[in-house]
Amino acid sequence: MALEKVDLTKVKPYGDTLNDGMTQVSFTLPVPYGDESKEAARRLAIKMGLEEASVVEAKDLGVGYTYFVVYGKCQHTIDYSTIQVPKVEVDTMEKEEVEAYIEKHIGRDVVILGACTGTDAHTVGIDAIMNMKGFDGHYGLERYKGMEAHNLGSQVPNEELVAKAIELKADALLVSQVVTQKDVHISNLTELVELLEAEGIRDKVVLVCGGPRLSHELAKELGYDAGFGSGSYAEDVASFVVEEMVKRKLG
């Protein structure tokens, strides 16, 4: 049986059949568990634009809070053909290629500092990029020949990161941000840029940030050279850093 052709100018959620709009949403309401709370969740889903909304799961979280999973049919569509998302422009090289690139075009060790800054204590992301063992078969920057990688860990104050960058004459700074409640990552990332500018070294380092809710577009808006989201590996970051160094003649 031939597959039904998708109209990319009118894309909508798919459940059982193409364009049926079936959607699942989950949320918590500050109301006690019961029939009234389920009805409240259903009505809220309808206001969200979901037709034939039904609550398929409700869980009592205690102290007057309830968690819901709701199904419904989305009637809206998106013109997928018009979407353009800013992406990091880099020709990703393998580890050995990055090492050869450093030797040929830079001729010295590249000093990279990585850290989870502010109050962020999540190190999984920065460890995957920096630590020697890396992640998912992709070695971290500590294993790269020609790279002097320093993983400063978590909850590193911006002032400390900047001081360390000056001390070690860093070529690049990698900042990981996972905690995003109340946009704390925005203020923290902005503060780092301001500190680097105050010290007069912003244009002397390649500044990169990463995290599950960070895009390249947002990173650029905040004054960074690049932003890497989920699914990025050490070679993606390494390739960008060394190519950017050569492009800006920082080597």
**Catalytic positions:** 133
Crossing angle of helices 158-168 and 184-198, in 10° steps, is 40
CA distance 46 to 53: 6
Q: Residue 155 in contact with residue 116, Cβ under 8 Å? A: yes
Q: Residue 131 in contact with residue 142, Cβ under 8 Å? A: yes
CA distance 179 to 190: 15
Q: Residue 206 in contact with residue 172, Cβ under 8 Å? A: yes
CA distance 171 to 162: 12
